[in-house]
Amino acid sequence: MGRLRYLTLEPRLERWLTIALVLLFWMQAALWPWRPCATASTCAASVQRADTLLQSSEAVILFLAGLVIWELRRCWRSPISA
């Protein structure tokens, strides 16, 4: 069975259009995970994941802040000998 063509283009232009279409396809596929929630259950699961991620990020930040404060207090108490 032959290939059905509706439009005849120069090979160079056809190649560039093919590359552009493939890139657009993959860009769209990469954007799908960030599309708005389709159902309420998907939204709820997404919010729950975001809350969990936020809580773990806050825990890391609080731990690092406590570590910095502890180190500053330790350095403040011990005089630096020259």
Please tell me the predicted confidence (pLDDT) of residue 59. Answer: 84
Statement: residue 82 has pLDDT above 60: no
Distances (CA, A) of 68 to 12, 21, 54, 76, 79: 60, 51, 21, 12, 18
pLDDT at 39 over 80: no
Query: In this predicted model, what pLDDT tens digit does every residue of 17-33 receive, in sequence order?
Result: 999 999 998 888 877 76
Q: Domain for residue 51, yes or no?
A: no
Instruction: Tell me if 2 is assigned to some domain.
Output: no
Cα-Cα-Cα-Cα dihedral sign, residues 37, 40, 44, 49: negative
pTM for the complete prediction? 0.37
Q: Which domain holds residue 24?
A: 7-31
Between these two residues, 73 and 18, which has the higher pLDDT value? 18
pLDDT beyond 70 at 58: yes
pLDDT at 20: 92
- Give domain status of residue 44, yes or no: no
